[in-house]
């Protein structure tokens, strides 16, 4: 299903003008440097195609003949490759040798010289092995003349040669042309002819698992690049590289027969979705996630803006994207033709030489829109006006990580969370546990963690009560155990104890203005997990703090607030379950936020001489 969807996406995109997807036998490749030569094969210049500053320079992409899958042997591409193949120059030729070790390394140096010479000769042989018609092309003739006559030493004084020697990919351009030599008509026609040739009779035949047609399967599938954490050279989704994986005498790609055309289509489509700065790609923890639809849809790129971290120069981008989602739902997206379009979400994670499928979700645009709205409804909780109303997924996940670092996000939690959002299922229990543990470790309930805990508990509550037949708004109202803001009527012991702890802390703060550390810094962990061992001490401290308040009206109000909260508390439990520890955090957070809310003054809050 995954490969079929990618194959269909390739067919859809190539039918669109200016899609940027290469046809069969070609690919898009970044070439940082272009060797410009004249008709006689003489070097004119080496052009730097990169744009940007410092390490952020990005090379221009060109349509080039599809690269071969390189292993430990010598394998070259047609009319483009790295410096060792194209120019026969060892990329380590400028490294400084230690005289004391020179004798020990002579054999290695000689071996490398032989290998680089073989690579360069293979590059020339690849050109010479093309159909005869290609040699009538002026550009190809100029490249062969250059390769036969150029002197590597003549290149050392060229600008940015030290960067060229770093082994980037190189191509050729004939002076006066806009396109590369490998893009000339004669070369393209030759490649198309070779691509369309029939397979040898001795080659294995099979039924393509994607198209269902009888064909010659691809022995090796093109590498997938752009998956964060995977090998730089790329990895595979379909791969059989050990005898233990083979069956019925078939090896490598013949175990899962996919035609060469379909292999090219699905790998090209996936590499296109994973390309740099792709608007349809998002990194979720260790999972590279891509989005596409069976027909053009604004949701293909809009979903990244919804979940992604807003750029520094546009901090409201995420907020606008979520608002647009809500507006589109209210405007009839759920019943529109676009709403019925099938939508795909694929999560990929590195796994040695292969790529692991972390999650795969198929739904209509309408179904996904409803589930994403549900996600943000679940997250909604009272917060400061200076904070984002809709939290990006990364901020939620990093809030559960040690020291707030992305590298410390618990393994697999990102992929599982994304799967829960897109499927409408409860969030992973590990997400709730991670948020609660960070609260205890940091003695602080932050806005992102409070939103996560509320969402986890409410979604689990709804999942455990699946029989409701109410409308969406009624369903949300009846199944939303934890509210957006303070809920005086919530009887849960964890929620009540969290509120009580917040009031006790507030009492201490007002009794000791400017205090550096409160009871939260010392007692939060114990109060939220083993209340019986902590609250007796806290209530004794409360009496001391109340006695220090100069405003007796305020002291009376705090005592009354504590009494109202404790009305539903018959006993302090020896411990709280993980969900109740989460409710403790929400009760504490709600009560603290309520203290910050502007309220009209009452007579009890006034000092002597003041009037309302």
Which among 141, 236, 134 is positioned nearest to 189, based on CA atoms?
134
| Contact between 357 and 346 (Cβ < 8 Å) | yes
Evaluate whether residue 139 is within a structural domain.
Answer: yes
pLDDT of 576: 95
Structure tokens at 373: 């709205």
Evaluate whether residue 295 is within a structural domain.
Answer: yes
Q: Tell me the residue range of the domain where 252 lies.
A: 206-273
Evaluate whether residue 590 is within a structural domain.
Answer: yes
| Last residue of one domain, picked from the residues 220, 247, 273 | 273
User: Could you tell me if 449 and 303 lie in one domain?
Assistant: yes
User: Could you tell me if 449 and 501 lie in one domain?
Assistant: no
User: Could you tell me if 366 and 235 lie in one domain?
Assistant: no
pLDDT of 610: 52
User: Could you tell me if 398 and 342 lie in one domain?
Assistant: yes
Measured CA to CA, the distance from residue 499 to residue 6 in angstroms comes to: 51
User: Could you tell me if 411 and 469 lie in one domain?
Assistant: yes
Tell me how crowded residue 237 is: count the other CB atoms within 10 A of its CB: 20
pLDDT of 476: 47
User: Could you tell me if 339 and 214 lie in one domain?
Assistant: no
User: What are the Cα distances from residue 80, in Å, to 27, 76, 235, 561?
Assistant: 12, 8, 22, 76
| Last residue of one domain, picked from the residues 195, 223, 246 | 195
Evaluate whether residue 572 is within a structural domain.
Answer: yes
Evaluate whether residue 19 is within a structural domain.
Answer: no
Question: Could you give the residue ranges of the DSSP H alpha helices within 512-577?
Answer: 519-529, 535-548, 552-566
User: Could you tell me if 83 and 225 lie in one domain?
Assistant: no
| Last residue of one domain, picked from the residues 246, 273, 300 | 273
User: Could you tell me if 123 and 89 lie in one domain?
Assistant: yes
User: Could you tell me if 37 and 177 lie in one domain?
Assistant: yes
Structure tokens at 262: 């379909």
pLDDT of 412: 84
Measured CA to CA, the distance from residue 447 to residue 98 in angstroms comes to: 57
- Residue 212 DSSP class: -
User: Could you tell me if 293 and 391 lie in one domain?
Assistant: yes
pLDDT of 198: 45
| Contact between 79 and 34 (Cβ < 8 Å) | no
User: Could you tell me if 418 and 286 lie in one domain?
Assistant: yes
Evaluate whether residue 200 is within a structural domain.
Answer: no
Measured CA to CA, the distance from residue 521 to residue 587 in angstroms comes to: 17
Evaluate whether residue 4 is within a structural domain.
Answer: no
User: Can you give the pTM of this predicted structure?
Assistant: 0.81
User: What are the Cα distances from residue 107, in Å, to 94, 103, 114, 347, 612?
Assistant: 17, 8, 11, 46, 94
Burial of 439 (0-12, 13-18, 19+ CB in 10 A): buried
| Contact between 364 and 340 (Cβ < 8 Å) | yes
DSSP 188-199: HHHHHHHHTSPP
> Mean pLDDT of successive 10-residue segments in the chain (612 residues)?
94 86 88 93 91 81 87 87 90 57 68 89 93 92 92 76 82 94 91 63 77 87 86 82 76 84 92 91 89 93 90 88 91 88 94 87 94 95 92 93 87 89 93 95 95 95 69 50 93 95 94 91 94 93 90 91 90 94 97 83 53 48
Which among 370, 419, 364, 369 is positioned nearest to 393, based on CA atoms?
419
| Contact between 542 and 505 (Cβ < 8 Å) | no
Q: How many domains does the chain have?
A: 4
| Contact between 303 and 291 (Cβ < 8 Å) | yes
User: Could you tell me if 297 and 386 lie in one domain?
Assistant: yes
Structure tokens at 239: 């791969």
pLDDT of 101: 58
| Contact between 80 and 118 (Cβ < 8 Å) | no
pLDDT of 475: 47
Measured CA to CA, the distance from residue 532 to residue 610 in angstroms comes to: 42
Helix (H) or strand (E) holding 368: helix 365-379
Evaluate whether residue 345 is within a structural domain.
Answer: yes
pLDDT of 472: 47
């Amino acid at each position: 299903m995954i490969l079929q969807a990618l194959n269909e996406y390739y067919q859809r995109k190539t039918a669109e003008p200016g899609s940027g997807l290469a046809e069969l036998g070609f690919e898009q490749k970044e070439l940082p440097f272009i060797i410009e030569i004249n008709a006689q094969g003489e070097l004119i210049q080496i052009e730097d195609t990169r744009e940007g500053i410092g390490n952020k320079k990005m090379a221009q992409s060109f349509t080039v003949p599809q690269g071969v899958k390189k292993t430990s042997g010598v394998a070259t591409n047609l009319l483009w490759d790295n410096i060792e193949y194209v120019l026969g120059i060892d990329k380590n030729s400028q490294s400084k040798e230690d005289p004391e070790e020179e004798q020990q390394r002579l054999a290695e140096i000689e071996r490398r010289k032989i290998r680089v010479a073989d690579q360069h000769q293979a590059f020339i042989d690849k050109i010479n092995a093309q159909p005869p018609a290609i040699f009538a092309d002026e550009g190809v003739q100029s490249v062969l003349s250059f390769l036969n006559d150029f002197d590597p030493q003549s290149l050392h004084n060229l600008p940015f040669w030290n960067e060229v020697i770093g082994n980037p990919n190189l191509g050729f351009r004939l002076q006066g042309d806009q396109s590369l030599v490998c893009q000339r008509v004669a070369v393209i026609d030759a490649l198309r002819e070779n691509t369309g040739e029939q397979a040898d009779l001795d080659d294995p035949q099979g039924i393509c698992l994607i198209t269902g047609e009888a064909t010659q399967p691809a022995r090796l599938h093109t590498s997938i690049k752009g998956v964060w954490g995977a090998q730089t050279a790329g990895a595979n989704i379909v791969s059989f590289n050990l005898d233990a994986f083979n069956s019925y005498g078939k090896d490598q790609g013949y175990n899962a027969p996919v035609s060469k055309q379909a292999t090219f289509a699905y790998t090209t489509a996936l590499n296109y979705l994973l390309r740099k700065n792709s608007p349809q790609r998002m990194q979720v923890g260790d999972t590279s996630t891509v989005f596409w639809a069976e027909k053009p849809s604004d949701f293909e790129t809009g979903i990244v803006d919804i979940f992604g971290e807003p750029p520094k120069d546009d901090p409201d981008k995420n907020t606008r994207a979520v608002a647009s989602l809500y507006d589109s739902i209210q405007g009839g997206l759920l019943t529109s033709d676009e709403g019925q379009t099938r939508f795909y979400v694929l999560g990929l994670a590195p796994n040695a030489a292969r790529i692991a499928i972390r999650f795969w979700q198929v739904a209509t645009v309408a179904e996904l829109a409803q589930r994403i709205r549900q996600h943000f409804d679940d997250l909604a909780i009272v917060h400061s006006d200076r904070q984002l109303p809709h939290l990006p997924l990364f901020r939620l996940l990093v809030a559960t990580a040690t020291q707030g670092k992305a590298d410390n996000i618990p393994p697999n939690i990102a992929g599982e969370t994304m799967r829960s959002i897109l499927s409408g299922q409860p969030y992973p229990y590990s997400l709730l546990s991670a948020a609660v543990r960070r609260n205890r470790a940091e003695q602080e309930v932050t806005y992102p963690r409070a939103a996560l805990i509320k969402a986890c508990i409410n979604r689990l509550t709804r999942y455990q009560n699946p029989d409701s037949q109410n409308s969406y708004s009624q369903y949300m109202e009846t199944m939303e155990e934890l509210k957006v803001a303070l809920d005086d009527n919530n009887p849960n012991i964890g929620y009540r104890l969290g509120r009580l702890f917040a009031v006790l802390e507030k009492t201490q703060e007002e009794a000791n203005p400017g205090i550096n550390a409160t009871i939260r810094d010392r007692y939060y962990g114990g109060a939220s997990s083993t209340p019986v061992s902590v609250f007796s001490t806290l209530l004794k401290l409360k009496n001391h703090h109340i006695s220090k308040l100069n405003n007796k009206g305020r002291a009376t109000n705090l005592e009354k607030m504590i009494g109202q909260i404790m009305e539903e508390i018959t006993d302090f439990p020896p411990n709280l379950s993980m969900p109740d520890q989460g409710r403790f955090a929400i009760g504490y957070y709600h009560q603290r936020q309520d203290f910050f809310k502007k309220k009209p003054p009452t007579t009890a809050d006034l000092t002597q001489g003041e009037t309302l």
